[in-house]
Structures are given as structure tokens and as C-alpha cells.
Amino acid sequence: MGELLVERDGHVATVTLNRPERLNAITGPMLDAFSRALVELDEDPDVRAIVITGAGRGFCAGLDLQDQMSGQGLGGGAGIGAATQRFNLRDAPPTVLHNVDKPTICALNGGAAGYGMDLALGCDIRIASEKGKLSAAFTKRGVLPESGGTWLLPRIVGWSRAAEIMFTGRTLEAPQLLELGLVSRVVPAEALMSDVLAVANEIAENAPLAVQATKRMMRMGQNETFEANVHHVFLQLLPLFRTKDFQEGMKSFLEKRKPHFEGR
């Protein structure tokens, strides 16, 4: 069994961080494998939704501190300059995850700390078990959210709440995550994957090109004016009008039946 598992079931792929004995703390090889898996799944026309979760009782405890202390993790070796040159941010999991067009769902099965919290925040949808939690322990370890958290969290919960969470290094339990809108729902632990897969399959039943275009426009809208986004949405709409899926969507509506989309 590898440290990263990728399973496909129909149009849904599940990526599982698989170091349960270390609460799925991420090693360098896992970072590389995770990025490669996301790119491969994003390019696979049969995949329409991606679920990300952790094996065992934790989602992800962050970067492996044993690697960090031994000098083999990020920032180790020959110094900060050399580490920065070796660490390709373009291909790093948070950047790749942000740019994936396929919808991503975090099945938050347990604790997500540090890097793990940022990975969870980077997903489009988060569904937590009653045991799910997010720990912004960065400032308690002498670092900062290095994997997108400083960009993501203020946009999700607002500046004041994000500042309080990050500056204090606070851990948020499942009820707080739901109250703050950090997760869509909280479900019993034994029902988490069935609930997540139900949402993933509901998404996968829709026209995949339209879903992916919607996600791209939502992502672009984070950094552009309303007028610019409306313009870009129109340009995305024109090619969709020429797809077989658009014809199928209209035809199935008129015929009062469930559509069958092919992604073409």
C-alpha cells in the first residue's frame, strides 16, 4: 500500500492520504505524488469529481515534523535560498489544487492541522464528520500558513474571524466549522464517505464541461471586477452552446427525462 491511494468509481475519483500511523503527515514524496495525481485526474475525461480524504482517524497532521527536524523537509538542507530554489511553487499541491477544474470535495474525517488545514480549505466543498477539526497551529510552531491559508481563510470567513483563528493558532471543532461556514455539513463519522460520495455523484451527473467552466469563472471572479467576470462568463458560454451536452440538456428538459451527458 502506498502513501497515496487513488481509486476510481464511475466518474468519481477518491484520493486518500495513506499514512494513518502518522495521522497522514505529509512527506516530500507524498507532495509530489499528490500533485501528479491531481493533474492526472484533472486531465482524465472520465473523472468528473475528486474526493480527498485521509486514512484512519485523521485527515492530515500537516508536514511531517520528523522530516523537518532532520533537515529533509521544506526549508531544510543548504539553507532557505537553496530550499526556495528546490521547492517549485507552480507544481506544489496547494497551487495545483487551486487550478484543478474538476470539483474537489474534502471528506474531513478527522483532524487537519497546518498544511493539512490548508489542503482542506483549498477544496471546493468540505463535508466533515463529527470528529473533523481544523487546527491553525502555525504560529504555535513558529511558522505561517505556507500553503494558501492566508489567501483562503479570509475569503471564506472574513478578515476578523480569519485573523482571530490564525493569530491565536486556534483549533476548531466540527460544530464551530459548521457555524463559521468552513464546512457545508457535519455528519456522523460512519456516514461521512457515503454522504460525500452521494454529493460527488450528484455533481458527476451534470454536464462536466459546464461544471468545470462554472468553477473556472468562480475562481477568476475572486480577483476581477464584476464587469470583467461577466465578460469572461459570456466567452465561456459560447463554446458550451456548441457542445453535445448542451443539446442533450435542452432535449432532455423538453422530453421530461433525466439527461445523459458525455462531456462533449
- pLDDT band per the 50, 70, 90 thresholds, residue 135: very high
Rounded Cα distance, 102 and 48, in Å: 6
How long, in residues, is the chain? 264
The pLDDT of residue 193 is above 90: yes
pLDDT at residue number 78:
39
Residue 54: strand pairing partners: 17
**Whole-number average pLDDT of the chain:** 90
Give me the sign of the Cα torsion angle 15, 17, 100, 226.
positive
Dihedral pair phi/psi, residue 70, rounded to 5°: -85, -5
Model's pTM, two decimal places?
0.89
The residue-averaged pLDDT of 220-246 equals: 94
pLDDT at residue number 142:
87
Q: What is the pLDDT of residues 39-79, one digit of tens each?
A: 999 999 999 999 999 999 999 998 887 765 555 555 444 33
Rounded Cα distance, 24 and 258, in Å: 40
State the virtual CA torsion across 51, 218, 257, 10 in degrees, nearest 10: -20
Write out the H or E segment, with its range, that includes residue 220: helix 208-221
Q: Residue 64: exposed, middle, or buried by beta-carbon count in 10 A (0-12, 13-18, 19+)?
A: buried
SS3 137: coil
State the virtual CA torsion across 234, 238, 240, 241 in degrees, nearest 10: 120
Residue 15: strand pairing partners: 6, 52
Strand ranges, E, within the chain = 4-9, 12-17, 49-54, 58-60, 104-108, 111-113, 125-129, 133-135, 171-173, 185-187
The pLDDT of residue 210 is above 90: yes
pLDDT at residue number 63:
87
Q: Residue 136: exposed, middle, or buried by beta-carbon count in 10 A (0-12, 13-18, 19+)?
A: buried
